[in-house]
Amino acid sequence: MGKTLAEKLWDNHVVHSAPGEPDVLYIDLHLVHEVTSPQAFEGLRLAGRPVRRPDLTLATEDHNTPTDYTLPLAGVSSIKDEVSRTQIETLRKNCADFGVQLYPMGNAEQGIVHVIGPQLGITQPGLTIVCGDSHTSTHGAFGALAFGIGTSQVEHVLATQTLPMDRPKTMAVTVSGDLPDGVTPKDVILAVIAQTGTGGGQGYMVEYRGSTFEQMSMEGRMTVCNMTIEWGARAGLIAPDETTFAYLAGRSHAPSGAQWDEAVAYWTSLRTDDDAEFDAEITLDASTLAPFVTWGTNPGQGAPLSESVPDPEAFDDPSDRVAAEKALTYMGLTAGTPLRDITVDTVFVGSCTNGRIEDLRAVAKVIEGRRVADGVRMLVVPGSMRVRAQAEQEGLDAIFTAAGAEWRQAGCSMCLGMNPDQLAPGERSASTSNRNFEGRQGKGGRTHLVSPLVAAATAVTGHLASPADL
């Protein structure tokens, strides 16, 4: 019997295998940020251990960084929060002490860790990639095996460049057909999560297959793989193809010349064998999908925009019912309210899910010549400084600011409440990010996860809307 892509990548990276023990996997790329690394570096110091492969390790600053500073920066003084500043300074010291390449705030290569790996061309097919960040699954879009890990594991990878892991099962998510107008990769993954629930992928490495994903851009594939963790799966990946190779060609860390040809030949071999079997399979028909939004406090609590806030009584499973009741209370919503009638205070465009150039172009196309509704604050935050520069080159920033939106520096921003970009208690957002957990965007804040298109239309109307409503 043949092997799935995930199994091939796994087998290619086994350094040590013994019955009754986890496999020891080699890690080709370790991405690091300021939040989940300080205790790991401290562990190395206490044990007197070096970083085994600084040349396979890359750090950036993204979670704590403010996005409203102006360049050039004078050190870290633009970070007003002393604790945040200390964490950034700690990362700088750790990278200097251990010889790790760092792209600090203000640097042309700085950005959200999952945006900069691909744009540098360091994220490549066939690699194992880890980061102390659950959205590391993003890199699976290139046909890499990419896992989010905890700080103990960050220390383990720094010390050994390996990770002991039990091999997860495999699952195929097959979506076929053309996406209807106005339906984006974000809607595809929100629909998958709503169908499976937040635990549906637990214990699996998921391969997204079918013509819908084959037709998707790399940006779209990254959005899908990014949110794999939101339905509990360990990793999500898509087989590399011409779209992948075209994205990588010419990037600064991608191979070139004869090595490029060798790389493409290798990457082309990274496919699930025809006779391979998955442990589980899910199938969706793209033509049935619609713009999707969340109404609750986990990413599985979502519905098509055309529907209404569900009645908790309609849930068969008692724990789903209780969860829905709690969610509606927290969100300040009443069952039966059409989702389109929900008004928002804030629209956030950005994050490792939807902070790439294609996302910004989509938003700009909708918002051009229109105005952000009165009483609505719209933040547009590029995922990296390169995305920012590209957007400015294309004049997108002028479109955003003319519409009344705020155009920011790169960072995680309002995806999570670690930097100054936060919702106030009771404020409601339409957000292109990945998590609508209680308090995720600021204490007491209420989040509706949406696609970039829905975010843009919502900013214009002041209530949840799609471009077709304009």
Q: How far is CA 60 from the centre of its chain?
A: 16
Quote the CA–CA distance of 229 and 237 in Å, as a whole number: 12
Q: Is 263 in the site for other proteins (CB under 8 A)?
A: yes
Quote the CA–CA distance of 222 and 289 in Å, as a whole number: 19
Picking from 23, 32, 24, 231, the residue whose alpha carbon sits closest to that of residue 130 is: 32
Phi then psi for 304, rounded to 5 degrees?
Answer: -60, 145
Give the list of residues 6+ apart from residue 267 with CB closer than 8 angstroms, or none.
Answer: 124, 125, 126, 143, 240, 244, 245
Select 161 or 451, whichever has its Cβ closest to other proteins: 161
- Can you point out the beta strands (E) in 42-183? 57-60, 101-103, 128-131, 145-148, 162-165, 169-176
Q: Is 384 in the site for other proteins (CB under 8 A)?
A: no
Among 152, 211, 269, 401, the residue binding other proteins under the rule CB under 8 A is 152
Picking from 148, 115, 111, 156, the residue whose alpha carbon sits closest to that of residue 130 is: 148
Judged on CB neighbours under 10 Å (0-12, 13-18, 19+), 86 is middle
Quote the CA–CA distance of 368 and 347 in Å, as a whole number: 16
Among 4, 153, 170, 196, the residue binding other proteins under the rule CB under 8 A is 153
Q: Of 153-161, 303-311, 332-340, 356-364, which segment contacts other proteins by CB under 8 A?
A: 153-161
Hey, which residues between 188 and 207 contact other proteins (CB under 8 A)? Answer: 198-199, 202-203
Q: Of 58-66, 333-341, 352-360, 459-467, which segment contacts other proteins by CB under 8 A?
A: 58-66
Q: Is 1 in the site for other proteins (CB under 8 A)?
A: no
Select 11 or 181, whichever has its Cβ closest to other proteins: 11
Hey, which residues between 304 and 333 contact other proteins (CB under 8 A)? Answer: 319-320, 322-323, 326
Strand partners, 449: 431
Among 69, 159, 406, 467, the residue binding other proteins under the rule CB under 8 A is 159
Q: Is 259 in the site for other proteins (CB under 8 A)?
A: yes
Select 214 or 438, whichever has its Cβ closest to other proteins: 438
Q: Is 249 in the site for other proteins (CB under 8 A)?
A: no
Q: Is 384 helix (H, G, I), strand (E, B) or coil?
A: strand
Token pair of 236 as six digits: 């999500």
CB of 207 to other proteins, least distance (A): 17
Select 196 or 432, whichever has its Cβ closest to other proteins: 196
Hey, which residues between 60 and 119 contact other proteins (CB under 8 A)? Answer: 63-64, 71-73, 81, 83-84, 86-87, 90, 100-104, 106-109
Select 42 or 345, whichever has its Cβ closest to other proteins: 42
Hey, which residues between 204 and 243 contact other proteins (CB under 8 A)? Answer: 229-230, 232, 234
CB of 453 to other proteins, least distance (A): 25
CB of 325 to other proteins, least distance (A): 11
Residue 337 backbone class (left: φ over 0; alpha: ψ -120 to 50; beta: rest): beta
Q: Is 133 in the site for other proteins (CB under 8 A)?
A: yes
Select 104 or 291, whichever has its Cβ closest to other proteins: 104
Q: Of 159-167, 239-247, 362-370, 393-401, which segment contacts other proteins by CB under 8 A?
A: 159-167
Select 166 or 374, whichever has its Cβ closest to other proteins: 166
Give the list of residues 6+ apart from residue 83 with CB closer than 8 angstroms, or none.
Answer: none
